[in-house]
Amino acid sequence: MRPNFLYHPFEICISGYSGSGKTTLNEKLIRHFKSQYKVAFFKHDAHEFEFDKEGKDTFKAWHAGASLVSIHDKEKTALIERRAPDPKHIEIERQLWACDHDFAIIEGFKHINAPKLLLLGAGETKVKALLDLREKRITDVLAILVVELDRDTSQLAEEFNLPVFERNDVTSIAEFILNYFKQQIASMPLKGLILAGGKSSRMGQDKGAIAYHGRPQSEHLLLTLKEHCSEVFVSCRSEQKDLPHLKNLPQIHDRLIDMGPMAGVLSAMLYDPNAYWLVLACDLPFVNKLTISHLLERWNPFKQATCYLSQEGLPEPLCGIYSPKFKDRMFTFMGHGYLCSRKTMLSSDVLGVELPFKEALYNANTPDERVQIEKIFREEN
C-alpha cells in the first residue's frame, strides 16, 4: 500500500488542462464501475466552487452514481455521500468516510506526485500537457489518453514508454485502472495471525494448549494457515511467551492491554501495516483447509475486511481477512470507546461470507463444550 496518499490507498488522478475532457471521462468511468465497486470521487478546484449545482462537475459525478463526491479549494472542503447518517457514529464516520469506499478517482492535481492518467485533449491543452510531461513538471503518469488514436500515437508511446488509450475507450481505461490497483494488492503480503492471548477463565486452562488434532490448537491452526500465508504468528500477551505450547512459535505480543481481540489484531497491524492479516481465534476446533480456502476464494481486498457471517447474519471478526486500511478505523473506534470488533465491522464496509458448513466456527469456551467437541472428533475417526 502506498505509504502516502491523498485520500485513499487505492486512488488514481485523471489529470489534464481545462477542456481536455476530464469530467466527461470521469462520469463515464463512475458509471462503468458503479455496479461492482463503491467509487469515491474527489475534485481539486483551484478556484472557488459551487457544490451540487446542476451542470457542475460534482453534480454530474453524483448523478452518474458515485457513492461519495468531494471538492475543495484553498479555503474549504465539501462532500456528499450516498448514505444516511448514523447518529451513534456520526463523528467516527465523518473522519473515516474515504476508506469506506473501494477506491477513489481524483480529478485534477496534475502537478503533484500521485499516480495519474494524463489527458492531452486537443490544440493548446495538448501542447501544454506534452511540454509539462517532457520537462517533468508532470510526473507519475501511468498512461496517456488522447482524443483519438492516429499516426502520432505510437510515437507518443515510444517517446514516453507509456501505454496510450483513446479517451472514449472507457472499457480499456477502466480495465487498466483496475489492473493497476490489483498490482498494488499483489505486492502486499497476506500474513496469518492466531489469537491466543485470552485468559480462558471459563475453560479453566489455556484454550490454545488443547490438542483436538494431536497437537496444541495454536500450533495446529498456525500450520493450517502456513499453506496460504507468507508468515504466520501467534498473538499473545508477553507473559505467555514461554508457555510450553507457545515458546517455539513465532509471536506478536499485545501492545494494547486489556482490550480484547482487537488488541491482538491491531498489534499485528502495527507490526506490519502494509500486510493483509488472516485472523483466526485459537478456540475454533472445526476450522480446516476448506474453511480457509472458502474464505480466500471470496475475499475482496478492496473492502475493509472479508469475514464469515454467523448463522444470525452477523460478521465473525475472529475468522476474517483484515485490510491495512482497516487499522485507522479500528483505532478511531477504540478511541471512542468501542472495543468490540464486531461492532466496528457492523459500521464498516465489510464483505460477509456464508459459512461452508454450519459447524465451521463452533467454539469451545467451557470444559463441557470441550468434551462434546472431542466426542465428535472421536466419532468421526
Residue 4 lies in a domain: no
Regarding whether 293 and 196 lie in a shared domain, the answer is yes
Q: What is the CATH number of the domain that holds 231?
A: 3.90.550.10
Give how many domains the chain has, as a whole number: 2
Residue 218 lies in a domain: yes
What's the CA angle centered on 9, arms 6 and 15, to 5 degrees?
50
Q: Which of 264, 349, 260 is nearest to 306 (CA)?
A: 349
Q: What is the CATH number of the domain that holds 167?
A: 3.40.50.300
Distance CA 130, CA 132 (A): 5
Regarding whether 147 and 291 lie in a shared domain, the answer is no
Structural contact between residues 330 and 264, judged by C-beta atoms closer than 8 angstroms? no
pTM for the predicted model, two decimal places: 0.85
- CA 282 → CA 161, 196, 199, 201, 222, distances in Å? 51, 6, 12, 14, 9
Regarding whether 322 and 259 lie in a shared domain, the answer is yes
Distance CA 14, CA 22 (A): 6
Instruction: Spell out the residues 6+ positions from residue 76 whose beta carbon is closer than 8 angstroms to its own.
Output: none
Of 134, 157, 186, which residue is a domain's last? 186
Task: Indicate the helix (H) or strand (E) that contains 125.
Answer: helix 124-134
The string of DSSP codes covering 69-120 is: EEEE-SS-EEEEESS---GGGHHHHHHHSGGGSSEEEEE--TTSSS-EEEE-
Regarding whether 140 and 51 lie in a shared domain, the answer is yes
Residue 90 lies in a domain: yes
Task: Indicate the helix (H) or strand (E) that contains 377.
Answer: helix 367-380
Give me the domain span that covers residue 95. 11-186
What's the CA angle centered on 276, arms 234 and 89, to 5 degrees?
100
Q: Which of 328, 324, 321, 290 is nearest to 306 (CA)?
A: 321
Residue 180 lies in a domain: yes
Regarding whether 285 and 320 lie in a shared domain, the answer is yes
Regarding whether 269 and 182 lie in a shared domain, the answer is no
Quote the pLDDT of residue 378. 84
Distance CA 36, CA 296 (A): 19
Half-sphere exposure of 117 (CA within 13 A, CB side): 30
Regarding whether 168 and 113 lie in a shared domain, the answer is yes
Regarding whether 104 and 31 lie in a shared domain, the answer is yes
Of 186, 215, 250, which residue is a domain's last? 186
Regarding whether 18 and 54 lie in a shared domain, the answer is yes
Of 134, 163, 186, which residue is a domain's last? 186
Q: Which three cell numbers stand for residue 29?
A: 468511468
Quote the pLDDT of residue 94. 44
For the beta carbon of residue 255, count every other beta carbon within 10 angstroms: 14
For the beta carbon of residue 140, count every other beta carbon within 10 angstroms: 14
Looking at residue 275, the DSSP 8-state letter turns out to be: S
Residue 2 lies in a domain: no
Structural contact between residues 143 and 164, judged by C-beta atoms closer than 8 angstroms? yes
pLDDT digits (tens, 9 = 90+) for 126-183: 999 999 999 999 999 999 999 999 888 889 999 999 999 999 999 999 999 999 999 9
Looking at residue 334, the DSSP 8-state letter turns out to be: H
Residue 6 lies in a domain: no
Structural contact between residues 105 and 14, judged by C-beta atoms closer than 8 angstroms? yes
Regarding whether 19 and 35 lie in a shared domain, the answer is yes
Residue 376 lies in a domain: yes
Which residues of 222-322 form beta strands (DSSP E)? 231-236, 251-253, 276-281, 305-309, 315-322
Distance CA 331, CA 240 (A): 25
**Helix/strand/coil (H, E, C) string of 331-352?**
HHHHHCCCCCHHHHHHCCCEEE
Q: Which three cell numbers stand for residue 62?
A: 453524483
Regarding whether 222 and 259 lie in a shared domain, the answer is yes
Regarding whether 202 and 175 lie in a shared domain, the answer is no
Structural contact between residues 203 and 365, judged by C-beta atoms closer than 8 angstroms? yes
Residue 1 lies in a domain: no
Residues of the chain with pLDDT under 50: 87-95
- CA 19 → CA 125, 170, 299, distances in Å? 7, 18, 40
